[in-house]
Structure 1
Amino acid sequence: MIRTASPSPADTAPHYRTAVANDQIWERIREEAATDAVEEPALAGFLNTVVLGHETLCDSLSYLLASKLESPVMTALTLRDLIQHAFTEDESIPGAVLADLQAIMQRDPACRGYSTPLLHFKGFHAIQAHRVAHFYWERERFALALFLQSRISEVLAVDIHPGARLGKGLMFDHATSVVIGETAVVEDDFSMLHEVTLGGTGKEGGDRHPKIGRGVMIGAGAKVLGNIRVGEGAKVGSGSVVLHDVPPHTTVAGVPAKPVSYPRSALPALDMDQSLDEEPSGE
């Protein structure tokens, strides 16, 4: 008798991997949540409270973030008002939220649908909460912005200074122990894994943190230090320590990091290929 392998739970679970347009994402999230509420009754209350009871994606996200970041110092109700104010006043934030959801759907095979990062991925939560902290930092409400940074770090184990500037289409995979300094700049379509630091090299002030170009991918545990630039489409290998500028479309690795090859694609962040054995061009 020939035995065939039984399908794994991942093979039989419902998936919503087909991407949709931005204006259909909220409808898809509600569809996923409604299906999950029926199939997992223990989560029905949670899904109704966080997703199905809200009219818009920003309403849902503001409720979820406020629930996670509340403390004896600041209630969820107060936090939600602050978050919604940022979402309303800065028209770029809702669009960035959608771009980040699309990025995760396209790059993370563990993402079973748009509701997954919204409900469960703390890298996504940390980025969106940072956008709120940055909104208040830019308006010189420094005490509030730093309070939000502290709560994000305590709750999500992701420490992003509210002065740091982040683009859109970002994915922080796993995200635990990510640190991003005050004068860091991260451009669009960026991906990195856990335990990455975009930091300074000492106690100098001023512009002292890295500038990361579009489409860059940084592997787990890498440290990029100082006011240096990692060029567009570059790749940083896991565990590397980068202390100098990285040319565009170059793979660097090691301690200290040195060029080892060239990425196979123009924007490594999009394909998430973490190998270092690409053939250097011209060889």
Structure 2
Amino acid sequence: MANTQKKISELDPVWSRICREAEEAVREEPLMGGMLHGSLLHHPSLQRALAYRLSLKLASPEMSEQILREIADEAYDDDPSLVEAARADLVAVNDRDPACNRYIQPILYFKGFQAMQAYRVGHWLWRQERHDMAFFFQMRISEVFGIDIHPAARVGKGIMMDHAHSIVIGGTAVVGDNVSILQSVTLGGTGKESGDRHPKIGDGVLIGAGAKILGNIKVGHCSRIAAGSVVLQEVPPCKTVAGVPARVVGEAGCDQPALSMNQVLEK
């Protein structure tokens, strides 16, 4: 097992860094040794560690940790893009969140990262037409992390959900790659309409805290949604919108607002 883990680590620099950070953390805080070994160091790969961590978080008297872990393992084995997205999300959080300086932090402590990986397994279940189990995942993600993402929603990779409290993403929503979403954001509908009714968010978008984007509208790539805005109309690419209702107030401020995380509106 040790030789196998070493070979996998050598082929996967992200997992190698995670293991190295976990070993350093055990030396610095021996009382955390049990948690760090159980969550990270006892596993041969990132996907196995994620399956363990998610099952531990989502388990309840209604669904055991063992069953949830088997589901997550099956999902990761069937679809390698799930762990590829997890790596991209992990790098995104580390790069964009000034509170993060180690890869182990999002896996162990950040509910935004954990909820996103649990959603990805739930979305895999949805695509397998295992809708009831997907809805169970949605329910537990909401109960445990305070984030409600419909399993039918399509979310890209490199996602950073900062603070990740009270985020809602509807079932026909689409979120592109490298998007940053702050707390209390809603990607919702405008009423009781059915069908395709939720926003389509382009790549590289920054969505500020408390923003509400409602209806089947497009938010162009590399745009910026100011905190507290209510967006009811299409947002052009590379623009900043603000207000209630939101309107264009200027350019996005940089080429990649989701990466810069600059939320200051220039006068």
Q: Which amino acid aligns with 1:88?
A: D
Q: Which amino acid aligns with 1:209?
A: H
Task: Measure how far apart 1:267 and its partner are.
Answer: 1.9
The aligned residue for residue 82 of structure 1 is 71
SS at match of 2:12: helix
* Selected match of 2:57 from 39, 47, 68: 68
After superposing on structure 2, the runs of 4+ consecutive aligned residues of structure 1 that deviate more than 4 Å are none
Q: Is the 8 A contact 1:22 1:98 kept in 2?
A: no
The aligned residue for residue 276 of structure 1 is 265
Task: Measure how far apart 1:22 and its partner are.
Answer: 9.0
Residues 1:251 and 2:245 aligned together: no
- CA pair 22-119 structure 1, distance change in 2 beyond 3 A: farther
Once the two structures are superposed, the pairs formed by residues 144-183 of structure 1 within 5 Å of their partners are 144-183=133-172
* Selected match of 1:127 from 88, 95, 116: 116
Once the two structures are superposed, the pairs formed by residues 108-123 of structure 1 within 5 Å of their partners are 108-123=97-112
Single out whichever of 136-145 and 153-162 deviates more from structure 2. 136-145
* Selected match of 1:100 from 69, 89, 101: 89
Task: Measure how far apart 1:105 and its partner are.
Answer: 1.4
- CA pair 192-85 structure 1, distance change in 2 beyond 3 A: same
Residues 1:190 and 2:166 aligned together: no
The aligned residue for residue 131 of structure 2 is 142
Instruction: Spell out, residue by residue over 1:242-261, the C-alpha distance to the aligned partner (whole angstroms, 9 max, x if none).
Output: 00000000000010001111
Once the two structures are superposed, the pairs formed by residues 16-95 of structure 1 within 5 Å of their partners are 23-95=12-84
Single out whichever of 212-221 and 84-93 deviates more from structure 2. 84-93
SS at match of 2:142: helix
Q: Is the 8 A contact 1:101 1:117 kept in 2?
A: yes
Give me the TM-score of the superposition, normalised by structure 1.
0.89
SS at match of 2:148: strand
Q: Which runs of 5+ in 1 are unaligned?
A: 1-20, 279-283
RMSD: 1.2
Query: Number of residue pairs matched?
Result: 258
Task: Measure how far apart 1:23 and its partner are.
Answer: 2.7
Q: Is the 8 A contact 1:62 1:80 kept in 2?
A: yes
Give me the TM-score of the superposition, normalised by structure 2.
0.95
Q: Which amino acid aligns with 1:211?
A: K
CA distance in 2, matches of 1:172, 1:202: 25
The aligned residue for residue 13 of structure 1 is none
Task: Measure how far apart 1:118 and its partner are.
Answer: 1.0
Instruction: Spell out, residue by residue over 1:97-121, the C-alpha distance to the aligned partner (whole angstroms, 9 max, x if none).
Output: 1111111111111111111111111
CA distance in 1, matches of 2:155, 2:197: 16
Q: Which amino acid aligns with 2:167?
A: V
The aligned residue for residue 240 of structure 1 is 229
Single out whichever of 99-108 and 221-230 deviates more from structure 2. 99-108
Q: Which runs of 5+ in 2 are unaligned?
A: 1-9
CA distance in 1, matches of 2:201, 2:255: 15
Task: Measure how far apart 1:192 and its partner are.
Answer: 1.0
